[in-house]
Structure 1
C-alpha cells in the first residue's frame, strides 16, 4: 500500500512540474517531464517493484558472499586463469609459436611476374597530359622499347622474396615520384 502511495505521489509531482513547464511555453521540456512522471505509476501497475526488490536483495546476497565466502574467491581465480590461458593461446597462435596440425612449409622466393602496366602491343589507350595546353594530346602508336635485362645484383635482390617492391619502385621512378 505504501508503494502505491509513493509511486502515485511521484507521478503527480512530475505531472505538476510538466504543467508548469508547459505554462511557461517550454513544451519540449514539459513533454520530457511528463514522460518521466509516468514511470513510477507504470512500474507499480505492472508489478515491477517487487521484482526490483528481489533482484536487489539477490545482488546484495551475492556481493556479501563474494566478500566473505572462499568458494566464490576460488571461482573468481578459476575464471581468471581460464581467461589468461585463452589469451595466451591466442597470442601464441598469432605469433606462429604453436603449429596447428603440422609444420607450415617455408616460403620460397616470390615468382617472377611481368611489370605492372607493361603493354606488349606497344599502343596505350590513354593519351599523355600536356600541362602547357591543359588538354590531352593524341598519342601515336609507338613501338615500346624492350625491357632492359636485369643485372645480377638486382636478380640477387629479387631472390629475397621482395621482388614485388622492385616493380613498384620502377612504376614510381617512371612517374617521377
Structure 2
C-alpha cells in the first residue's frame, strides 16, 4: 500500500512539473518530464518493483560474497589467468612466433625437391614505393599520418 502511494505521488509530482514546463512554452522539456513521470506508475502497475527489490538483494549478497569468500577470489584469479593466457596467445600468434600445423611438414610426407623448396622460401621482392612514402606496416594509418603532417598536427 505504501509503495503504491509513493509511486503515484512521484507520478503526480512529475506531471505537475511537466505542466509547469509546458506553461512556460518549453514543450520539449515538458514532454521529457511527462515521460519520466510515467515511469514509477508503470513500474508499479507491471509489478516490477518487487523484481527490482529482489535484484537489489541478490546483488548485495553477491557483493558480500565477493569481498569475504576465498572461493570467489580463487575464481577471480582463474578468470584473470585465463584472460592473460588468451591475450598472450593471440599476441604471440600475430607475431608469427608459433608454428601452425600447416607450416610443419607431415611425418610421412615426401621431401620437397630442393629447387621447389628454395623457390617457395625465397623472399618476395619488395614493391617499389613512391617517393616520400614509407611502408612501416601500418597500411591506412600511413595515409592518415601524412594528412595530419600536411595540416601541421
Answer yes or no: same fold by TM over 0.5.
yes
- Runs of 4 or more, structure 1, over 6 Å off, are none
C-alpha RMSD over aligned residues? 1.8
Aligned to 2:62: 62
Are 2:122 and 1:108 aligned? yes
Cα distance in 2, alignment partners of residues 101 and 108 from structure 1: 21
Give structure 2 stretches of 5+ with no counterpart: 105-116, 132-153
Per the normalisation by structure 1, the TM-score is 0.62
Residue by residue over 1:131-174, the C-alpha shift from the partner in whole angstroms, topping out at 9 and shown as x without a partner, is xxxxxxxxxxxxxxxxxxxxxxxxxxxxxx22x217x56xxxxx
* In 2: Cα distance, 1:109 partner to 1:83 partner: 36
In the alignment, the residues of structure 2 paired with residue 16 and residue 102 of structure 1 have an alpha-carbon distance, to the nearest angstrom, of 72
Q: Are residues 1:98 and 2:98 paired?
A: yes
Q: In structure 2, what is the equivalent of residue 20 of structure 1? A: 20
What TM-score, normalized to structure 2?
Answer: 0.71
Structure 1 position 72, deviation (Å): 0.2
Distance 2:65 2:17 in 1: 43
How far residue 5 of structure 1 moved from its aligned partner, in angstroms, is 0.5
Distance, in Å, in 1 between the alignment partners of 2:3 and 2:76 is 38
Aligned residues: 117
1:80 is matched with 80
